[in-house]
Structure 1
Amino acid sequence: MKIINIHKRVIHQQKINVVEILKTLSTENDKIWPNENWPEMKFINGIQIGAKGGHGPIRYYVEKYDPTEIIQFRFSKPNGFNGIHKFEIVELNKETTEIKHTIDMYTEGKGTIFWFLAISSLHNALIEDGFDKLENNFSNNKKFTKWNMWVRFLRKRMKKRSKA
């Protein structure tokens, strides 16, 4: 099944400031990934073309990397996820920047079921949390996107399983 999932956020900052925050992705001083509530994004040698890593059960490698424009990852797991996800940064004007996250993939078999039952909702919440964290680097009025009931239910189930 074809999956296109896009999240965008307009940040009222110059592109260079947003780029600097995105450069911290998957570092010890990560200022975008919401690892306070989600599995950490990890890469053994940092983000560079060919680097392998992921978060939780999702695995991927860096396919394209230009820190001022794009970080593109290609899925390697779970089985049935065939495609990419990427962050893009676009200057809208001198004081406004858009960050965009896109998943563009085909799913098959268990990957399709996994996507629809759990990953889609969890992914949407994770990305919005990450965009909140990014935007909060520049604001005193902290953003916080509330999780929907399904996400809260799934996270509670996952917590119970990890304790067992």
Structure 2
Amino acid sequence: MVRNVHQREYPVPVAQVGALVARVAEPDSPVWPPGWPPMVLDRPLGVGAVGGHGPIRYRCTEWVPGRRAQFTLAPGSPIEGTHTFEVLDGPRPDSSILRHEIAGRLRGVGRILWPLAIRWLHDAVLEELFDRTAVSLGHPPVTPARRSAWVTLLRKLRSRRSNGALVDSAA
């Protein structure tokens, strides 16, 4: 079983963070980090929208505007389960928490790819997404996320795969 949670508090009302989350899959998303395969959906974010990022495919199975977007990973994915963005009330007045969770079971090659590559790439893109959200809200992080040497190497290998040098896999 995999349960991977990232969250960050922002000193702004829920509605502001929720409006940004609603734009996560737009072509010029203010929150999706540049340099990563973009999140692309076949229609505006809402139940039934199908898409993904890089080789990871999913369908939106729950959409509460401004609060929650849940995606169910496509059959055959290395993880059988969901990934969810949720905007929660923060602990202080006019604060909010952006939370992302992957919950599911590893399948097939996912048992190897998750601990070796997917988890590291996923964690890096999420922390960069949280940083971009902070910048978009006018509150840049004091210490921006930094990619580890392992993530940098994995991205280089993935880039080579994309150029035909290696077989594509989940990243």
Give the TM-score, by structure 1 length.
0.92
Q: What SS does structure 2 have at the residue aligned with 1:160?
A: helix
The list of structure 1 runs, each at least 4 consecutive aligned residues, that deviate by more than 4 angstroms after superposition, is 140-143
* Residue identity matched to 2:38: E
Partner of 2:158: 158
SS across alignment from 1:47: coil
Provide the C-alpha distance between the structure 2 equivalents of 1:79 and 1:105, rounded to a whole number of angstroms: 11
Give yes or no for contact 1:80–1:107 (8 Å, CA) kept in 2: yes
| Percent sequence identity over aligned pairs | 30
Matches within 5 A, 1:68-107: 68-76=66-74, 78-92=76-90, 93-107=92-106
**What are structure 2's unaligned runs of at least 5 residues?**
165-171
Q: Closer, same or farther in 2 for the Cα pair 1:45/1:120, shift >3 Å?
A: same
Q: CA RMSD in A?
A: 1.6
What code does the residue aligned with 1:30 have? Answer: S
Counterpart CA distance in 1 for 2:65 and 2:26 is 14
Aligned residue-pair number: 162
8 Å contact kept, 2:40–2:53: yes
Bigger strand share: 1
The CA distance in 1 between the partners of 2:19 and 2:107, in whole Å, is 37
Which residue identity is paired with 1:49?
V
Q: 1:100-115 residue pairs with structure 2 within 5 A?
A: 100-115=99-114
**1:14-57: CA deviations, max 9, x gaps?**
111111111211113311111x1100100111211011100001
Aligned pairs for 1:109-128 (under 5 A) are 109-128=108-127
Structure 2 length normalisation: TM-score?
0.88
Matches within 5 A, 1:5-154: 5-34=4-33, 36-76=34-74, 78-92=76-90, 93-139=92-138, 141=140, 144-154=144-154
The Cα of 1:163 is off from its aligned counterpart by 3.0
Structure 2 Cα separation of the partners of residues 109 and 70 of structure 1: 29
